[in-house]
Amino acid sequence: MSALRRRRALFVLVVTAIAGTAAAVIAGVSDAGTKVVRPAVPELGVFSEPADTAVDPRLAGLADSPRFVSGGKSGAADLFRLHVLGRDLGAFSSTLVVLPYHEDRGVCYALLGRTETDPGMSYCYLPLDPQLPDELKDQHFSGSWFYTNVDGVPRVQLFGVAFDDVNRLRLSVNGSWREVPVSRNGFYLDLPGASYKDSARIEATLADGSKRVYDFPNTDD
Amino acid sequence: MSIRSTGDHSVRRSRRGKRLAVGLVVLAALIAVGAAYAYSAYRYSPTSQTQPGTSYQTGGWANRVYNYACREVGGYGWARARYYNSSGNVVADTNSQYTNCSDGAAARLDGNGYYRSWCRHDGTVAWQMACVTTQP
């Protein structure tokens, strides 16, 4: 092969490689109008699915609020990889969403009211952080006990996320057990009449048959 | 020729329509985000270490967009956020959450309303707590 042919062959190879890379990048970004889905927190299978929504205005302040006080670690929630786990939930027709956080080491989940005046709550955490205390370590789920008293009607909305290997979730309120439905790593239960003073325990049964328990610290006013 | 020409126009109109729709959606999102940020966030807890069980609250009631609490320095700690209405009743409560401002783990309430914001250090040792809320 002459020097000229070798140069031509090299040129074609380089151009093909660049074009291939560009095509892969473009295809990834344009897929469903979102970025390529990276496996954020592999234990939550829903993150392997394409994101549901771009930006929900009700989440506008979520990404920045903790950074307001921390001075700006790279901890913003990725609003473009939001996943809706449930819609039209409970008394406020709430939406349960989950999104990756803190460079994919963390998870934010939020219960968004239908309107801006409906109550909502969000929580972010690092599920696999080795520094978690004993009561949270290796728990395979995270739940929030969200109390509201709107128009004189007290209630608790239990909501959160559960790992793929959670086969069953149930809740005990003041000693009475009930099932908590889990769907696509999310769970929600509306408890009219419940209070932040109630004694509540949540129990997860994992695929290997083992159990994880968490007692909500509902102790005082 | 005329049919072809009409087709081109309709394609152009369709494209214009799509661009306009996308533009409107983006504009609506920006307006909504702007409206959320029209409220200024402010801190109502001190920037010094506080003891377990210490609570803080805003000086009065105002229209809030959010209220959150978290341990600010030295790792994680249990914290809680609440809203009170003007009758002094608890209208929303996060319960105790394991928080760390630096990791973005905060107990946070959302939802516009005329509330007093409140937070509490629910840990077992002294640390610095950040409680942040909004008002117009």
Model ipTM?
Answer: 0.75
> What residue in B sits closest to A113 (Cα-Cα)?
B111
Residues 6+ apart with CB under 8 A from A61: B36, B37, B41, B65, B66, B110, B134
Note down pLDDT in tens along chain A; length 221 residues. Answer: 455 555 555 554 444 444 433 333 333 333 334 444 455 677 889 988 888 865 566 665 665 555 433 333 445 566 677 889 999 999 999 999 998 877 677 888 999 888 888 899 988 888 888 878 888 888 899 999 999 999 899 999 999 999 999 999 999 998 899 999 999 999 999 999 999 888 899 999 999 999 999 999 876 66
Interface touch B95/A218, C-beta < 8 Å = yes
What are residue B106's phi and psi, to 5 degrees? Answer: -135, 150
Q: How far apart are CA A202 and CA A142, in angstroms?
A: 10
Interface touch A102/B103, C-beta < 8 Å = yes
Residue A5 to chain B, least CA–CA distance (Å) = 45
All structural domains of chain A, each given as residue ranges with its CATH number in brackets, are 2-216 (2.60.40.10)
Residue A18 to chain B, least CA–CA distance (Å) = 30
SS (HEC) of A154-178: EEEEEEEEECCCEEEEEEEECCEEE
User: Which residues from chain A sit within 8 angstroms of residue B21, using beta carbons?
Assistant: none
Write the CA distances from A122 to A18, A168, B42, integer angstroms. 43, 23, 19
Instruction: Give residue B135's Cα distance to chain centre.
Output: 11
pLDDT digits (tens, 9 = 90+) for B76-130: 999 999 999 999 999 999 999 999 888 778 899 988 889 999 999 999 999 999 9
Interface touch B111/A73, C-beta < 8 Å = no
Interface touch B90/A196, C-beta < 8 Å = yes
Left (φ > 0), alpha (ψ -120 to 50) or beta: where does A94 sit? beta
Write the CA distances from A191 to A195, B96, B126, integer angstroms. 9, 18, 34
